[in-house]
């Protein structure tokens, strides 16, 4: 399967993405994790400010990763695409290989819950962007740059909207139902 997890910061893309990727037997490809591991100082500064990294840089990172052997039969993208040009680049890359996305899972939760989850993570993990000012900005960047992708994928007939509230297990059950398989 070729899958995308879409949703605002804190909606559970990473948490659910790991479960879905395991259930589908495909690699979990997180753009944020790749940038945190390999991004240079300029990229780290953009992430710390909650700004998006350049589209071409992202397209190069993701297309290189997806061309690896373990992604030949499918993949789960977490955090990519994140704006309309990135979605167009992914569509073109897939077209060039005669492939298409099977589903795009859109997770969402109320603004306050998203903020609370990210602030809770700040207590236990050292993510430079989990602070009140940057969280507010990340959510705004999502609203203006990423949320429009829902219409793009709805039009393509692959969008699956999933309520991201409740426990991880409850959300996992909804995601599994939306995709037609079990995650646990
Ligand atoms: P990225 O790493 O993708 O972060 P994000 O989108 O801000 O998402 P998060 O990881 O914060 O949240 P999530 O939705 O994955 O939720 P999670 O499962 O982690 O991107 C970081 C930055 O990198 C971007 O701001 C940008 O600068 C750059 N970047 C990345 N991709 C890019 C791209 N394509 N283009 C340009 N720039 C890019 O959960 C969050 C917390 O909530 C966790 O602690 C988790 O344990 C908890 N949680 C999850 N589910 C539940 C639940 N059901 N109940 C209670 N708690 C829960």
Q: Write down the pLDDT at residue 125.
A: 95
Decide whether any atom of ligand 1 lies within 6 Å of the 115 Cβ. no
Q: Which residues neighbour 77 within 8 Å (Cβ) at sequence distance 6 or greater? A: 3, 4, 5, 29, 31, 62, 90
pTM beyond cutoff 0.75: yes
Q: Which residue's alpha carbon is nearest to atom 48 within ligand 1?
A: 12
Decide whether any atom of ligand 1 lies within 6 Å of the 82 Cβ. yes
Question: b/e per residue, 33-64, with b = 16+ CB within 10 A?
Answer: ebbeeebeeebeebbeebebbebebbbebbee
Instruction: Note whether 104 and 3 are within 8 A (CB).
Output: yes
Q: Give 130 Cα–ligand 1 centroid separation in angstroms.
A: 10
Q: Write down the pLDDT at residue 119.
A: 98
- Which residues of the chain fall below pLDDT 50? 183
Q: Write down the pLDDT at residue 182.
A: 61
Take residue 130 and report the two structure tokens written for it.
Answer: 């989990």
* Tens-place pLDDT, residues 25-77: 999 999 999 999 999 999 999 999 999 999 999 999 999 999 999 999 999 99
Q: Give the mutation target among 32, 60, 107 for probing the ligand 1 site: most ligand atoms within 8 A of CB.
A: 32
Q: Write down the pLDDT at residue 181.
A: 82
Residue 57: phi, psi to the nearest 5? -60, -45
């Amino acid at each position: 399967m070729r899958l995308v997890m879409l949703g605002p910061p804190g909606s559970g893309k990473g948490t659910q993405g790991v479960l879905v990727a395991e259930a589908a037997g495909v690699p979990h490809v997180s753009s944020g994790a790749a940038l945190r591991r390999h991004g240079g100082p300029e990229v780290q500064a953009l992430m710390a400010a909650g700004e998006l990294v350049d589209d071409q840089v992202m397209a190069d990172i993701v297309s290189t990763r997806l061309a690896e052997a373990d992604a030949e039969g499918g993949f789960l993208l977490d955090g990519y695409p994140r704006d309309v040009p990135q979605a167009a680049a992914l569509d073109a890359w897939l077209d060039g290989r005669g492939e298409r996305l099977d589903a795009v899972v859109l997770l969402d939760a109320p603004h306050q819950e998203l903020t609370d989850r990210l602030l809770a993570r700040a207590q236990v993990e050292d993510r430079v962007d989990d602070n009140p000012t940057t969280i507010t900005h990340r959510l705004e960047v999502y609203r203006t740059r990423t949320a429009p992708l829902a219409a793009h994928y709805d039009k393509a007939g692959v969008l699956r909207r999933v309520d991201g509230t409740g426990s991880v297990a409850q959300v996992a059950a909804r995601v599994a139902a939306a995709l037609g398989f079990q995650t646990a």
